[in-house]
Amino acid sequence: MASPSNVTIWNLSGKWMGNRSKSDDPEPSLKLQGIGWALRKAIICANPVVCISAYTSTQEKTPSTYIDTIFRTPVADILDARVLNWQKIKHTDFIFGSVNCQTTWIGGLVGEEGRTRPNIQGSIGDEKATKFLRGEILADGSKCDGFLVEERYGKEEALWIHTIDQHEDGHWMDETMWGFELINGERYHTRRVITMDNKTGRYELVRVVFLFIE
């Protein structure tokens, strides 16, 4: 189902699943990452349940937000542990190998059209990719409303999650923006992903739309 109002970027805890009909085809991105045909098909067909636990630790001098995600695949569960402080964390799994991950909060900036969008320029220096990441356009280049600016504590607060994942061998990188969007009048958690081959500069754009289960 669409995301309930109490599930926000500040609290993504719950069970999710990719919405295939509303998401872009992930196969070109997986191919760019060097994932073989058989495994690509298995990943797409499996459509794993995604279990998210988001929490803030007060044990440190500077409190940090943690997001632990478990992807339940038919082969094995994959844990993706992130800290929103932009420090690099090494992640290793049987699909993508070893990846250095960085995650942080991103604020908003009012653009020329009067809409508030993520204040990000994108790391690959490509105008279309940057517009996609900010939510100005869809993967096919058509314009869209993009990310919602949502309320927190009774007032609007523009905040999103930004990640960069670099494969350890330097082959590819992902840059992703997490937020919520209205799609056909319903609110969904979305992630806009740029996957780039670092050697050729070729990239793929994918918007992943998530269904909230519970």
Maximum CA extent, the chain: 48
pLDDT at residue 11 tops 70: yes
pLDDT confidence bin for 64, thresholds 50/70/90: confident
Q: How far apart are CA 133 and CA 176, in angstroms?
A: 7
Beta bridge partners of 56: 65
At 76-109, the pLDDT tens digits run 899 999 999 999 999 999 999 999 999 999 999 9
In 3-state terms, the chain is what percent helix, strand and coil (to 5)?
Answer: 10, 50, 40
Per domain, the residue ranges of the chain are: 14-212
Q: Which long-range contacts (CB under 8 A, 24 or more apart) does 125-134 make?
A: 126/203, 128/205, 129/194, 129/203, 129/205, 132/192, 132/194, 132/205, 132/207, 133/175, 133/177, 133/192, 133/194, 134/177
Q: How far apart are CA 149 and CA 139, in angstroms?
A: 21
Architecture of domain 14-212: Beta Barrel (2.40)
Question: Of 72 and 194, which is predicted with more confidence?
Answer: 194
Q: What is the mean pLDDT of residues 161-178?
A: 97
pLDDT confidence bin for 209, thresholds 50/70/90: very high
